[in-house]
Amino acid sequence: MMVGSELVWMSLTDVAGAIRRREVSVSEVVDASLKRIETVRPILNAFIDVFIDVFIDEAREAAQQADSRLQRSTPTAPLFGVPLAHKDMFSRLGKRASGGSRIMADVEPKATATVMRRLDEAGAINVAALNLSEFAAGPTGHNEHFGHCRNAWNPAHISGGSSSGSGAATAAGAVYGAIGSDTGGSIRLPASFNGLAGMKPTWGRVSRFGAMPRAWSLDTVGPLTRTVADCALMTSLVAGYDPRDSTTSRLPVPDYTRSLGRSVSGLRVGISSDYFRDDISDEVATLFDDACRVLQDLGCQVEVIDVPDPGAYDAIANAISKSEAAAVHGRWMRERPDDYGLHGYSRTESGFHIPAAVYLDALSVRGAVVRDFVSDVFSRVDVLATPSLPFEVPTIAETDERDPARIPAMVGRITRNTRPFNYLGLPALTVPCGFTANRLPAGLQLIARPYAESTLFALGGAYERITPWKDQHPTL
């Protein structure tokens, strides 16, 4: 019989397999998750506590029902009985999502978000609601309403945002995976900062129906998990066309888990000669170079290439993000400005000062920019590799900027390597690539052409298999 400490560090795919083989009951797995939540809750502040007792009662009841079904037949649902929790911005009938804010508590959901429904259908059990930056508006995890979320490896440091709780709770062994959203790096940053795999799919690959919007032209939804295999499985389950989201692609969704184990020998990997080397610390540069040598050991052809200036895309994405966020929040910011925290307000209010012509120009040139970038870069390489963050994960105190005029520069420095790919709509996977001297994780970001998630999972999975990072866990 497995004990709780063993159960919580199993991968999502492994624990799902153990349940199907009846090596462990669903109740045992859920109880282990809930006990771990109680242990790390006061340390990490990764959970929204308002309705936590309701979640616990419902999770235990769902586990008992699942065990009854397990006695009668072998389940076919791929996530049968697996405890998950998600960024508290996805609607569920009968439950209110906070959006990390005071205001969303007054909004009654009219439907269940598609990603939540698909995970329910896959058999997962939802055990908690996860903290996030207010209205998904920041890359650090600061939240003045529910408290700042903390890094699973060192609680003095940021967990990354805006999917802060998704990163910290998964890394801490409290849940086996979590769904987040990514408008400028909000999946990849908390995944990187907490030593996880995180996938920002191609824009339109995963439905956003029922997800709280930040900037509809940039928003994407995807998983944060402890292994690439888990990430591939969860992406396969939530991706695909949804008639309730007209922006979703009708392209068939492959089983991304089938790309795992595929040879990556001969795959062409490009590393930028300039932009992604700017502002990089010596420690992160060393870890990134080491990761590139591992890719070469796998048989990849790694070469330095010139890349169209991503800084321009970062600036355009910023204009779109702020403009659309201002449109979403206009009425609330006029009627309830005091219900916003400093970071959330300053990140949104500035959108009212962006001229409509600038916003429309940013959208109108997008198609041509994406075509040119894809044609230029991916005619020469199959994957572009960058550091997920070009410097060591900072502390909460270092990023608790109180001067609204200085917040944009702080945000821009953290998101400089991730935000450009939201504007381009490209899939991007981050995987752990080691630790800096302060024992905080660093991430390797892999980017591919639209809808080439399978290539990223193949490469990320191959890299993960011959590196030790996924087997290391924080000691909370």
Task: Flag whether pLDDT at 214 surpasses 70.
Answer: yes
State how beta strands 83-87 and 125-130 pair: parallel
CB of 52 closer than 8 Å to CB of 128: yes
Residue 278 has a pLDDT of 83
pLDDT band at 2; cut points 50, 70, 90: low
CA separation for the pair 121, 117 (Å, rounded)? 6
pLDDT band at 277; cut points 50, 70, 90: confident
Three-class secondary structure of residue 36 per DSSP: helix
Residue 259 has a pLDDT of 97
Amino acid at 163: S
Q: Which residues of 202-214 are buried (b: 16+ CB within 10 A; e: fewer)?
A: bbbbbbbbbbbbb
Q: Token pair 């981050």 is at which residue? A: 430
- Rounded to two decimals, the pTM is 0.97
Residue 87, H or E segment:
strand 83-87
CA separation for the pair 209, 386 (Å, rounded)? 31
pLDDT band at 314; cut points 50, 70, 90: confident
Three-class secondary structure of residue 90 per DSSP: strand
Residue 315 has a pLDDT of 84
Q: Token pair 């979590």 is at which residue? A: 178
Percent helix, strand and coil across the chain, each to the nearest 5? 45, 15, 40
Structural tokens at position 97: 């999502």
Structural tokens at position 434: 């080691």
**What residue ranges in 231-325 does DSSP mark as E strands?**
268-272, 301-305
Q: What is the mean pLDDT of the chain?
A: 95
Partnered with residue 158 across adjacent β-strands are: 150
pLDDT band at 54; cut points 50, 70, 90: confident
Task: Flag whether pLDDT at 184 surpasses 60.
Answer: yes
Residue 1 has a pLDDT of 53
Residue 3 has a pLDDT of 57
Give the tens place of pLDDT for each residue, 58-92. Answer: 999 999 999 999 999 989 999 999 999 999 999 99
pLDDT band at 102; cut points 50, 70, 90: very high
* Greatest C-alpha distance within the chain: 64
Q: Pick 264 or 314 by higher pLDDT.
A: 264
Of 79, 71, 65, 77, which is closest to residue 22 (Cα–Cα)?
71
Residues annotated as catalytic (active site), given as ranges: 87, 162, 186
Task: Flag whether pLDDT at 290 surpasses 70.
Answer: yes
Orientation angle between helical segments 26-44 and 52-72, nearest 10 degrees: 160
Task: Flag whether pLDDT at 5 surpasses 80.
Answer: no
CB of 70 closer than 8 Å to CB of 81: yes
Mean pLDDT of 315-342: 94
CATH architecture of 4-471: Alpha-Beta Complex (3.90)
Structure-derived torsion over alpha carbons of residues 447, 452, 453, 454, reported in degrees to the nearest 10: -120
What percent of the chain has a predicted confidence (pLDDT) above 70?
Answer: 99
